[in-house]
Amino acid sequence: MALDKILSIGGKPGLYKLLTQTRTGFVGESLLDGKRVSVGLRNNVSVLSEIAVYTLEEEVPLREVFQKIKTRENGGKTSVHHKDDKLRLEEYFFEVLPNYDEDRVYPSDIKKIVQWYNILHDNGIVDFSEKDDATNSEEE
């Protein structure tokens, strides 16, 4: 499943899989407990494929950050927990993305990224590569 089908809903914990769109919003399924929720257009909703992390040079797509975490952890879950203290999370994130902008990437953002990565890992969503036909045809 691609990150363009995974949602973060403001005010609701965890991540949600987009099931269907309706006239007034959409229906999502929690990746934490499998419960379905109906969400209106007034809710603050973010699609993971549209999120980027500030670095000192540019914005790095979240999928690239997830890929760096996956590489660092050899495909496993993170060595830190999202509830660890601020300093430990910042040290970990600095190892993953050394040039992240410390002024614009807050500890709460790092907590979300670590938590989201682990939720995706628990649900078997670990392919963070960009789907690109040109790349696939070159490999063949």
Average pLDDT over residues 28-39: 94
Residue whose pair of structure tokens reads 């969503």 in the numeric block: 125
The Cα 33–Cα 2 span in angstroms is: 20
Query: Is the pLDDT at 137 greater than 80, yes or no?
Result: no
Q: What is the pLDDT of residue 135?
A: 38
Query: Is the pLDDT at 108 greater than 90, yes or no?
Result: yes
The Cα 89–Cα 103 span in angstroms is: 15
Average pLDDT over residues 9-27: 92
Average pLDDT over residues 82-101: 95
Domain boundaries, given as residue ranges, for the chain: 3-48, 51-122
Question: Which class is domain 3-48?
Answer: mainly beta
Q: What is the CATH number of domain 51-122?
A: 1.10.10.1650
